[in-house]
């Protein structure tokens, strides 16, 4: 090896950055990474020892013997010290603005079993925010609330009937409010259920303070709009909390899975990029509001499209909900639920956006370049999402269904046939096989034998991606990797799970020719791991940590 200064990992950490900061620009345009176990996710060259990066691009991969003679005289040499290197993780379904924004004034204990005990925390928030128009919180459990001895509205009304109080449930699919909040939202005993939502009522037909799915979304929009500095809160949370956390977890590419354009979320992202503070490749999924006029909403969405492959930020996805969630009995199922929470004329779930409306939006937006990111949990919701794509897609879209918890076996092959990606989240404990039959009281127990059937979908040649749905589940990709490998009988191999978090996800983001694997000609997004995932027991994968994260060859995080 030629005589050069060798920078060990410890020295890079000291020189380049502390915990995630703005990337430091090296004065040397070429780096030689050697003595590593580099997993490329390239089937033609899966493992190499060394890599040369120049101006943020990979220019050579191979053995140390081969690359020693190719590296430039003035290149920085970085000894990987035998550590595993792999492409940066992609998380194509998460909510970084919502997870990190300071717009919520309190967070409740999710382990609490008696909602009466939430009162001290809410009272504290009320006293600490005397000038706030609304009191906004997060974190209750719907099942606990519905098991209370009193109507949920009475618990909050004991705290205040003059200040509106709104609390988002931990899954974001229901909201708990007091009578003042209902009054300001215009919800009463005579109010019809809004599209994609339910106003729960007591035995007398009066709202009981629980708003399901989109009924809750409408009141959260109202509450957040009352916060004078809500956009600055979003900006600060993104820059100071979310982006550092992404880099710490080795995540170099993401899809914001619910970009509320009415709250100017897209403008917040653009400001972060324009300020030079964006440290992750980002595709925004513009939220499709169920209650908006279709023609005007389509026109707005069309005007917001932006895709420049040279930029980190792109606005080229549409996020919509085909249905709700299983524990609310709002996932769209083919058959009725075994319990009836709402007393509606139908009891097989709801549609935020019907199949016919999804088709209408595909026709209008796919030709412009939009890809659809469709929340579909129930077997009917999944089927309707696939039907809409089957009927109206021109074949150029890179659409995906996310969650895919209940899927009919007859729909497995349709994912590959229609080039629809199955995006799954398996980081949460509730997705483990041991918990599948927790839902037996909700739906036919036979349906719970293969929840989130990633192995069956893979065997049907579906493209699988894995994501976190942060902050519903933990962001750490090693938890998702471990669970994906261990969740037999619906599991993936380690190679398949890594590909789901990298190259497959890069395809979804329309950047598989740029990143997602480590290959000559691609940009250098990669991570250095604390242990080799292929040398340890699968049960130890979640103990892995990120030593370093690189974006375009620049160090953005060092442990």
d(CA 263, CA 256): 14
Tell how strand 546-551 and strand 526-529 pair up.
antiparallel
Question: Distance between alpha carbon 53 and the CA centroid of its chain, in Å?
Answer: 30
Tell how strand 47-48 and strand 37-39 pair up.
antiparallel
Q: Last residue of some domain: 178, 200, 225?
A: 225
**Overall pTM surpassing 0.85 (yes/no):** yes
Contact 178, 115 (CB under 8 A): no
For residues 508 and 545, state if they share a domain.
no
Residue 68 lies in a domain: yes
DSSP state of 191: P
pLDDT in tens, 400-411: 999 999 999 999
Q: Last residue of some domain: 202, 225, 248?
A: 225
Range of the domain at 331: 91-95+238-514
Instruction: Please determine, for residue 508, whether its predicted confidence score (pLDDT) is greater than 60.
Output: yes
For residues 347 and 492, state if they share a domain.
yes
Residue 231 lies in a domain: no
d(CA 219, CA 175): 8
Residue 216 lies in a domain: yes
Residue 293 lies in a domain: yes
Interval 250-263 mean pLDDT: 97
Residue 458 lies in a domain: yes
Residue 534 lies in a domain: no
For residues 125 and 34, state if they share a domain.
no
Contact 521, 58 (CB under 8 A): yes
pLDDT at 24 (0 to 100): 44
Secondary element (H or E) of residue 12? helix 9-16
CATH number at residue 78: 2.30.40.10
Residue 532 lies in a domain: no
For residues 176 and 209, state if they share a domain.
yes
CATH number at residue 136: 3.10.310.70
Tell how strand 165-169 and strand 174-177 pair up.
antiparallel
For residues 288 and 191, state if they share a domain.
no
Domain count, the chain: 3
For residues 289 and 411, state if they share a domain.
yes
pLDDT in tens, 264-315: 999 999 999 999 999 999 999 999 999 999 999 999 999 999 999 999 999 9
For residues 210 and 244, state if they share a domain.
no
CATH number at residue 508: 3.20.20.140
pLDDT at 345 (0 to 100): 79
pLDDT at 27 (0 to 100): 59
Q: What count of residues does the chain have?
A: 559
Ordered DSSP codes for 164-191: -EEEEETTSSEEEE-HHHHHHHT--TTP
């Amino acid at each position: 090896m030629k005589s050069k200064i060798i920078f060990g990992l410890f020295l890079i950490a000291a020189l380049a950055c502390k915990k995630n900061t703005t990337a430091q620009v090296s004065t040397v345009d070429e780096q030689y990474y050697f003595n590593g176990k580099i997993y490329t996710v390239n089937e033609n060259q899966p493992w190499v020892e060394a890599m040369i990066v120049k101006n943020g691009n990979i220019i050579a991969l191979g053995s140390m013997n081969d690359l020693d003679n190719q590296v430039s005289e003035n290149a920085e040499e970085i000894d990987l010290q035998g550590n595993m290197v792999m492409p940066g993780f992609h998380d194509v379904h998460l909510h970084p603005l919502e997870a990190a924004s300071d717009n919520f004034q309190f967070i409740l204990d999710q382990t609490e079993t008696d909602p009466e005990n939430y009162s001290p925390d809410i009272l504290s928030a009320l006293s600490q925010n005397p000038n706030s128009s609304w009191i906004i919180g997060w974190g209750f459990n719907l099942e606990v609330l519905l098991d209370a001895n009193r109507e949920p509205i009475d618990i909050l009304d004991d705290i205040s009937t003059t200040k509106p109080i709104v609390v988002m449930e931990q899954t974001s699919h229901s909201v708990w409010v007091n009578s003042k909040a209902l009054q300001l939202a215009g919800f009463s005993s005579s109010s019809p259920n809004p599209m994609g939502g339910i106003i729960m009522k007591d035995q007398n037909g009066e709202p009981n303070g629980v708003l399901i799915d989109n009924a809750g979304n409408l009141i959260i929009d109202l509450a957040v709009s009352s916060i004078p500095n809500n956009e600055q809160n979003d900006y600060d949370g993104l820059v100071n909390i979310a982006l550092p956390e992404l880099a710490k977890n080795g995540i170099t590419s993401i899809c914001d899975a619910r970009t509320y354009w009415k709250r100017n979320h897209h403008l917040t992202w653009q400001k972060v990029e324009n300020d030079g503070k964006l440290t992750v490749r980002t595709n925004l999924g513009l939220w499709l509001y169920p209650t908006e006029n279709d023609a005007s909403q389509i026109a707005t969405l069309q005007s917001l499209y932006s895709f420049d492959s040279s930029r980190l930020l792109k606005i080229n996805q549409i996020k919509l909900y085909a249905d709700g969630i299983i524990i609310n009995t709002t996932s769209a199922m083919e058959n009725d639920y075994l319990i009836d929470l709402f007393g509606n004329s139908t009891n097989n779930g709801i549609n935020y956006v019907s199949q016919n409306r999804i088709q209408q939006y595909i026709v209008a937006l796919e030709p412009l370049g939009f890809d659809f990111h469709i929340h579909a949990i129930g077997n009917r919701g999944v089927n309707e999402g696939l039907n809409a794509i089957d009927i109206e897609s021109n074949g150029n879209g890179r659409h995906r269904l996310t969650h895919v918890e209940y899927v009919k076996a007859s729909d497995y092959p349709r994912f590959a046939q229609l080039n629809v990606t199955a995006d799954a989240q398996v980081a949460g404990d509730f997705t483990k096989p041991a918990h599948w039959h927790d839902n037996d009281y909700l739906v036919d127990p036979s349906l719970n034998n293969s929840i989130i059937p990633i192995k069956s979908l893979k065997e049907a040649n579906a493209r699988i991606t894995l994501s976190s749905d942060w902050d519903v589940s933990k962001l750490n990709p090693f938890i998702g990797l471990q669970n994906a490998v261990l969740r037999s009988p619906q599991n993936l191999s380690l190679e398949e799970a890594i590909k789901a978090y990298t190259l497959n996800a890069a395809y979804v983001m329309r950047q598989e020719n740029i990143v997602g694997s480590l290959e000559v000609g691609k940009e250098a997004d990669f991570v250095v791991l604390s242990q080799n995932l292929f040398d340890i027991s699968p049960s130890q994968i979640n103990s892995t940590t990120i030593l370093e994260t690189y974006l375009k060859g620049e160090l953005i995080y060092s442990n």
